A and B are shown apart, each in its own frame.
Chain A
Amino acid sequence: MLDGLLVGLMTALSLKMILLVVAGCLIGTFIGMLPGLGPMSIIAIMIPVAISIGDPAGALILLAGVYYGAIFGGSTSSILINAPGVAGTVATSFDGYPMARAGKAGKALTIAAISSFCGGTIGVILLMVFAPVLASVALLFHSAEYFALMVVGLSAIAAFSGNGQVGKALAMTLLGLMLATVGESALFNMPRFTYGVLDLQSGIGFITLAMAMFALPEAIFLILDPARTKPKSEQENAVKDLRITREEAKTIAPVIARQSLLGFFIGVLPGAGATIASFLGYAVERNLSTKEEQKEFGEGSIKGLAAPETANNAACTGSFVPLLTLGIPGSGTTAILLGALIALNVTPGPRLMVDQPEIFWSVIISMYIGNLVLLVLNLPLIPYIAKILTVPRSYLIPFILFFTLMGVYIGQNNAAELLILIGLGVMACIFRVAGYPLAPLLIGFILGPMLENNFSRSIQLYDGIGFLWQRPMTGALLLMAIVLVLLPTIRVFLSRRRNPA
């Protein structure tokens, strides 16, 4: 581990890489503050830029910087104008916004920055410790187990991300898998499901789908409902009193320690991610605090602000564990990162640490640098950061739409892809209105080809589906997948029987 760490340090501490981290953090922070452009859309926009760097380590470092920056940017807009740009920072606004209204915006932003920094840093240390262990276990896996593991991952995502509506999330996952089969198949290069349309022969681009699922619906909702962006003009008392006192530091220190651990391990679970970690962190700290402190929650409690911020960032780091060691993205954002990695000819998985240790370790080191850069850059920038929120929406929205179109066009160089984007984007809006989660669709789409390839390979090896019961680990994993899908359904069923209201 130590020599790997040194290789990573050498790669990540070159001037180019540090500049990339700084640039990524800055871009991420500024775009992340815009409501509606969460880490997922920003990373999707940045992918063409990252790919053009050519060097996978550099590209991943840039994207990791953007990811961190975007999460911090999201908390900034949650605190200042109660407009969480990202689902993961919704819990931040519970106590951050009341603090800002009470004239303690500066303090709130500082606490957010420090908690994010601690959460992220502790997360990186845990990642360094646990990733190699997980990866060595993962080396025992064959294609049959990979297939089963991906089924588990997809079921976990469906089970955790659907707000309890497993059926809907499963349907979206299946739709994503179906979309992934459009185009030429890996077996015999046969075109499938193209229905005679030549532009579908090469399949649907992953950036197209990512933009259609996240960036486009947000922009459309922003147009539909102008109130979504309207700042509530509390900026006059925005940023004073940056310092936190010694007592306050003492109050939040145990919160940060607890939530870093909790957040990290939730982040490791596929499908749970930063949003769940932040809500859970908020709830846990509320239950743990004394009666008087509980009253402060929701009115501007510093504990209530530190908890979700720490958990959120630790979870983001945690979600890199399954991505880098198993090749399974735990969240929509890491799914996009996975797509970017594959485009850069890097296949994340247990072999990554053996074959390309410089990529693995430099990413981990640069995550640490990214955290530090965020803290150093953002503390003095906080007063200016708030200004970007005042860009009028009549300028903002056409630019968001244009960037969406451009991201897709640059990736594919095909105008027909833009029409696919618009069509899928409209569909995504309708699904979102009806409460269907969109992230499972994208994750299904990205895992689809891998799932099918491992499935086909196992069948070819065993000349049939015998691997399902001949390999105990495969069987056990598939059983776990079934349990994951059925468990929430059974729980809902039981609770309905208990109180049939």
Chain B
Amino acid sequence: MSLERSLAFFFLTTSIIYGYTAFFVIDVSLPPFAKLSPVWPSSFPKILAAMGVLLGFFLVFSKPSPNTKTEIDLHQLQSYSWFPVFALLGMMVIYALLLRPMGFIVSTFSFLVIGSVVLGERKLLLLSIIASIGSGGIWYLVQQVLGIYLRPWPWFLSGGF
């Protein structure tokens, strides 16, 4: 099955799940007084779901367009560098999870350094300098200039989790 058609299936499934929720789940918790209103919180989603399911079926059964120009050649997947992509995506997840406990400066510094190393950078000293300026500078900008609180250091240095 082509990628295009798989995505059409994905769209159809999403619409069906969405429609099921709209038609059968949301209204259950609707307070009685709200039922007197001509429009319910589920009214608009119901229309969307109906259109989505119809369009989904249309997309699944329509001929895939022959001349779709895409940026990635699907026949030469192995020629792309997949390792850094997954490594960086994984690092972003770890960054998201560690941002609070480890503090902004430590997590950002590590993210920038490890990210560059994954992409093939080997000048560690220069890299550390740029990463410290980057993380420190952004922290200063966000915390001091914009006034948004970002914990700079890990939990054991700033007391409490």
Report A's interface with B, CB cutoff 8 A.
Answer: 48-49, 52, 163, 165, 167-168, 170-171, 174-175, 177-178, 181, 185, 187-188, 190, 192-193, 195, 220-221, 223-226, 392-395, 397-399, 401-402, 405-406, 409-410, 413, 415-416, 418-419, 422, 426, 430-436, 451-452, 455-456, 459-460, 463-464
**Cβ contacts under 8 Å, A432 to chain B:** 70-71
**Cβ contacts under 8 Å, B124 to chain A:** none
Partner of A167, one of B21, B55, B69, B134: B55
Compute how far the CA of A31 lies from the CA of B58 in the bound complex, rounded to whole angstroms. Answer: 41
Residue B157 CB within 8 A of the other chain: no
Scan B55-97; emit 1 where CB is below 8 A from any A CB, else 0: 1101100100100111110100000111011001100110111
Compute how far the CA of A401 lies from the CA of B87 in the bound complex, rounded to whole angstroms. Answer: 13
A431, chain B: closest CB distance, angstroms: 6
Contact B55 A224 (CB under 8 A): no
Q: Known contacts A167-B55, A171-B59: does B38 contact A463 (CB below 8 Å)?
A: yes
**Cβ contacts under 8 Å, B31 to chain A:** 188
Compute how far the CA of A36 lies from the CA of B142 in the bound complex, rounded to whole angstroms. Answer: 24
Contact B3 A434 (CB under 8 A): yes
Contact B72 A174 (CB under 8 A): no
Contact A435 B97 (CB under 8 A): no
Contacts of B101-149 to chain A: CB distance below 8 A: 108, 111-112, 115-116, 119-121, 127, 130, 134, 138, 142, 145-148
Contact A435 B41 (CB under 8 A): no
Q: Known contacts A395-B121, A410-B148, A431-B7: does B130 contact A187 (CB below 8 Å)?
A: no
Contact B99 A193 (CB under 8 A): no
**Which residue of chain B has the shortest Cβ distance to A462 in the bound complex?**
B38
Apart from A178-B49, A188-B31, A464-B38, 9 more pairs, CB < 8 Å: A52-B146, A171-B11, A220-B89, A223-B81, A401-B88, A415-B96, A415-B100, A422-B92, A435-B65
Partner of B115, one of A49, A163, A401, A436: A401
**Cβ contacts under 8 Å, B158 to chain A:** none
Report B's interface with A, CB cutoff 8 A.
Answer: 3-4, 7-8, 11, 14-15, 18, 21, 26, 29-31, 34, 37-45, 48-49, 51-52, 55-56, 58-59, 62, 65, 68-72, 74, 80-82, 84-85, 88-89, 92-93, 95-97, 99-100, 108, 111-112, 115-116, 119-121, 127, 130, 134, 138, 142, 145-148
Contact A181 B95 (CB under 8 A): no
A69, chain B: closest CB distance, angstroms: 19
Partner of B45, one of A170, A193, A460, A464: A193
Partner of B52, one of A174, A190, A397, A456: A174
Report whether over half of chain A's contact residues are helix, strand or loop; otherwise say mixed: helix
Q: Known contacts A193-B21, A422-B92, A460-B38: does B48 contact A398 (CB below 8 Å)?
A: no
Compute how far the CA of A36 lies from the CA of B110 in the bound complex, rounded to whole angstroms. Answer: 24
Contact B92 A401 (CB under 8 A): yes
Contact A436 B134 (CB under 8 A): no
Q: Known contacts A178-B45, A422-B93: does B130 contact A224 (CB below 8 Å)?
A: no
**Cβ contacts under 8 Å, A409 to chain B:** 99
**Cβ contacts under 8 Å, B81 to chain A:** 223-226
CB<8 Å pairs between A and B, sample of 17: A167-B58, A170-B55, A185-B41, A190-B30, A192-B45, A220-B89, A223-B119, A224-B85, A226-B81, A392-B121, A397-B88, A401-B88, A406-B138, A410-B148, A432-B71, A435-B65, A459-B38
Which A-B residue pairs are the 3 nearest by beta carbons? A398-B115, A418-B96, A394-B121
Compute how far the CA of A422 lies from the CA of B86 in the bound complex, rounded to whole angstroms. Answer: 12
Compute how far the CA of A433 lies from the CA of B7 in the bound complex, rounded to whole angstroms. Answer: 11
**Cβ contacts under 8 Å, A163 to chain B:** 69
